[in-house]
């Protein structure tokens, strides 16, 4: 038999570690650990004010106090402790909001892309109408109506951003629906919903995962924006967004209050989107 | 025109018509004009034989094939499978019949789900029709098409074109169907794989008593493989009958032209010089 030679298909997988996967995982794991263990690892209470210790610089600048690694803000609260507690809120919001957005938008996208016809027309028009609203204004409006608080922030993210999933997953599903394996699933006696769930979904899943990671990053940013404009939780509670907002007022004499949370925000969002791409490649048996 | 064979047909097609909307020439208002792909013909697919369906691209041969396994619904006419008209059955009513109406696709890369392992691709339909569905059942089907058991745990992209097409055949025969549609199944393969896949199909059809409709544009393949042949041109039948008859005494110019296109070895007198 000429065409039955056995190759070693798994050989390519080993070799150098995938940095696009491991670097973001390292940072996100670090942030997640800090968030979970916040009460244990934070050196100070994030809410304790001490006007004797206001605007202490970080450790590498003269005039600092030991124990205040990243300095203090204009009310004498420890920046590092507030960042660690802020990570809790950031990750909580991104996890819940992105998952809800993903489930809602992906299901609509899969249905529109696979069943087509009226399903597609109704869902696509809804997406068009939805996207005509300016998103930030929409979020502010929603939070204003529902009242401030984390639930409102999460609901606002899911209600605005489901269109991102619906659009991309619809297009991807349409491409997959034209493949012969969908017809051969019919030939093999599968119900339509079974074909969607067990044939098409596994092929769309890498895109869903990449988008989910992107959405987690976006959720962190949206939460920060809403905190920045004071529409998230109470302004006393430490969030990266509210720290950036406070830091902005003092940027000329205490830049560290703004810079450190900004770096944390930047690295977290970047990690999420890089991780999404990395995972997409990792789970694609063809690209592997 | 009726077929000259004596066995009863497994599939009879009567006055089959099918058209597609032509979106390229759709006016701003009103429905798009329709292009007639199958123009109302009748054919019989004899039981237990291999029937070739030939024609140039655009002749409607693949469309006809997809109607036979009811991936497409015709506009009008009858498709009698073993006496039952399946032309306008809905998907739920078709499902129990699908086990007997299998198909091997032209492009095995696209027709095998890239996310599933080979054994799952073969076993899934078996499970649905209560005909096993374990990994060892899939391996048994792989053995029948001459692939080693180790291939069960491969993904389709890890196989060569010929191997993939064998998996496609294994999936179709694993259900022990009565009819298999083979749609240009060797057109994507190199010549040596082509010969192997064709020989395999011929053996399986004989051993299992399968009725096969074999779509191809290549008359030399049809001559080698088929008992009967149907020649299509622009959605109409221009020739049909036993392969030997049609090839020896083609009735239409289309068949003559297709026969003339078979490359024959010609020995140049000066070749040795």
Domain ranges of chain A: 72-282
Query: Does ipTM top 0.90?
Result: no
Asked if A75 and A53 count as a contact pair (C-beta separation under 8 A), the reply is no
Residue B1 above 70 pLDDT?
no
Q: State the DSSP string of A49-75.
A: --GGGTTPPPTTSTT--TT-TT-B-TT
What CA–CA distance (Å, rounded) separates B79 from A188? 20
Query: pLDDT at position B272, please?
Result: 66
Domain tally, chain B: 1
CATH number for the domain harbouring residue B231: 3.40.50.300
Between chains, do A6 and B148 touch, taking CB under 8 Å as contact?
Answer: yes
pLDDT at A71: 81
B171 close contact with A: CB closer than 8 A: yes
Q: Is B103 on the interface with A (CB under 8 A)?
A: yes
Residue A8 structure tokens: 């070693």
Instruction: Give me chain B's average pLDDT, please.
Output: 90
pLDDT score, position B139: 95
A18-74 pLDDT tens trace: 888 899 999 999 999 999 998 888 888 888 888 777 777 787 777 777 777 788 887
Contacts of residue B18, defined as CB under 8 A and 6 or more positions apart, other chains included, come to: B36, B37, B38, B63, B67, B72, B74, B75
With pLDDT > 90 as the criterion, what percentage of chain B qualifies? Answer: 68
Most B-contacting residue of A11, A184, A192 (CB-CB within 10 A), to test interface: A184
Give me the residue from A180, A189, A198 closest to B99, CB to CB: A189
Answer whether A202 sits within 8 Å of B116, measured CB to CB. yes
User: A9 to chain B: nearest residue by CA?
Assistant: B158
Please say if the pLDDT value at position B18 is more than 50. yes
pLDDT digits (tens, 9 = 90+) for B109-144: 999 999 999 999 999 999 999 988 899 999 999 999
Show Cβ contacts of residue B235 under 8 Å, excluding neighbours closer than 6 positions.
B36, B37, B38, B39, B41, B59, B60
Q: Which residue has the higher pLDDT, A202 or A284?
A: A202
Contacts of B163 in chain A (CB under 8 A): 3-4
Sequence-separated (6 or more) residues with CB below 8 Å from residue A10? none
- The pLDDT, as a whole number, for residue A286 is 65
In a domain, B190, yes or no: no
Residue A9 confidence (pLDDT): 45
Residue A7 with chain B: CB contacts under 8 Å: 158
A45 or A182, which is more confident? A182
A72-282: what CATH class?
A: mainly alpha
The pLDDT assigned to B2 comes to 46
Mean pLDDT of chain A: 86
**B 186-205 residues inside an 8 A Cβ radius of A:** 192-193, 196
Please tell me which of the candidates B105, B157, B175 has its beta carbon nearest to residue A285: B157
In this complex, is the C-beta atom of B105 within 8 Å of any C-beta atom belonging to chain A?
A: yes
């Amino acid at each position: 038999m000429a065409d039955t030679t056995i190759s070693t298909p798994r050989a390519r997988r080993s070799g150098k570690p995938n940095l696009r996967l491991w670097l973001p995982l390292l940072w996100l794991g670090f942030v997640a650990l800090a968030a979970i263990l916040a009460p244990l690892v934070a050196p100070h209470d994030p809410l304790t004010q001490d006007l004797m210790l206001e605007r202490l610089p970080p450790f590498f600048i003269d005039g600092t106090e030991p124990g205040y690694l990243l300095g203090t803000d204009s009310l004498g609260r420890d920046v590092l402790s507030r960042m660690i507690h802020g990570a809790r809120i950031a990750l909580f919001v991104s996890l819940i909001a992105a998952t809800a957005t993903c489930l809602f938008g992906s299901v609509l996208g899969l249905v529109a892309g696979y069943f087509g016809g009226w399903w597609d027309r109704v869902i696509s028009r809804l997406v068009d109408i939805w996207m005509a609203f300016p998103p930030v204004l929409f979020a502010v409006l929603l939070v204003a109506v529902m009242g401030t608080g984390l639930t409102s922030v999460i609901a606002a993210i899911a209600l605005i951003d489901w269109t991102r999933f619906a659009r991309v997953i619809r297009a991807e599903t349409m491409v997959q629906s034209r493949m012969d394996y969908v017809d051969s699933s019919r030939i093999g006696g599968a119900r339509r919903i079974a074909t969607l769930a067990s044939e098409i979904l596994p092929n769309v899943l890498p895109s869903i995962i990449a988008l989910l990671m992107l959405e987690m990053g976006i959720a962190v940013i949206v939460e920060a924006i809403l905190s920045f404009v004071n529409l998230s939780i109470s302004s006393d509670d430490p969030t990266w967004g509210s720290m950036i907002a406070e830091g902005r007022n003092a940027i000329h004499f205490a830049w560290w209050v703004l810079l450190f949370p900004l770096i944390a925000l930047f690295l977290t969002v970047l990690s999420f989107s890089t991780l999404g791409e990395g995972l997409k490649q990792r789970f694609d048996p063809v690209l592997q | 025109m009726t077929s000259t064979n004596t066995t009863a047909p497994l599939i009879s097609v009567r006055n089959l018509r099918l058209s597609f909307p032509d979106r390229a020439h759709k006016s701003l208002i009103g429905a798009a004009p329709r292009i007639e792909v199958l123009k109302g013909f009748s054919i019989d697919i004899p039981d237990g034989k291999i029937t070739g369906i030939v024609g140039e691209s655009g002749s409607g041969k693949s469309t006809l094939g997809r109607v036979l396994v009811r991936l497409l619904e015709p506009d009008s006419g009858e498709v009698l499978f073993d006496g039952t008209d399946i032309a306008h059955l809905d998907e739920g009513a078709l499902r129990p019949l699908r086990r007997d109406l299998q198909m091997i696709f032209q492009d095995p890369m696209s027709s095998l789900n890239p996310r599933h392992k080979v054994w799952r691709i073969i076993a899934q339909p078996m499970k649905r029709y209560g005909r096993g569905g374990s990994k060892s059942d899939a391996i048994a089907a792989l053995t029948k098409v001459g692939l080693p058991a180790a291939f069960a745990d491969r993904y389709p992209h890890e196989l060569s074109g010929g191997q993939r097409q064998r998996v496609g055949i294994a999936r179709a025969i694993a259900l022990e169907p009565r009819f298999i549609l083979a749609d240009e199944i060797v057109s994507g393969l190199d010549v040596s794989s082509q010969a192997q896949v064709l020989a395999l199909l011929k053996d399986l059809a004989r051993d299992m008593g399968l009725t096969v409709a074999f779509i191809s544009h290549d008359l030399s393949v049809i001559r080698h493989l088929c008992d009967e042949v149907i020649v299509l041109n622009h959605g109409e039948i221009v020739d049909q009958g036993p392969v030997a008859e049609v090839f020896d005494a083609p009735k239409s110019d289309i068949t003559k032209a297709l026969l003339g296109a078979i490359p024959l070895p010609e020995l140049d007198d000066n070749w040795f010089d």
